[in-house]
Amino acid sequence: MIDFFLFLLITLSFLILVYLYRVIQGPTVFDRVLGLAGISTKAIILGVVMGTVYDRVEMFVDISTGYALLNLVGAFAIAKFLEQRGTP
């Protein structure tokens, strides 16, 4: 069973690399913000999978919840800033 979860972790890390390509390469700055949102979703799923591997789901779920809320605040700050600055 642990092999399956290791496979899941490796797949999610590879997907994070794909989104990282979009963050580095993206033509506009909004592509980078979208890529960061995608990476944070993967990170939340990654946290829950880690909790399942280590049998400490209740702790890792709390970490994931905090990460989701911080991600919301960060995305709002960046979006508001870019909206008022105009076209990059």
DSSP string, 2-55: HHHHHHHHHHHHHHHHHHHHHHHH-SSHHHHHHHHHHHHHHHHHHHHHHHHHHT
**Residue 6 is a binding residue for other proteins (CB under 8 A):** no
Contact 43, 70 (CB under 8 A): no
**Residue 8 is a binding residue for other proteins (CB under 8 A):** yes
**Residue 43 is a binding residue for other proteins (CB under 8 A):** no
When computed from its CA atoms, the radius of gyration of the chain, rounded to whole angstroms, is: 15
Contact 8, 51 (CB under 8 A): no
Minimum distance of other proteins from residue 33's CB (angstroms): 5
**Residue 75 is a binding residue for other proteins (CB under 8 A):** yes
Kindly list the residues in this chain that would bind other proteins in the complex (CB under 8 A).
1, 4, 8, 11-12, 15, 18-19, 21-22, 28, 30-31, 33-35, 37-38, 41-42, 44-45, 48-49, 52, 57-58, 61-62, 64-65, 68-69, 71-72, 75-76, 79-80, 82-83, 85-88
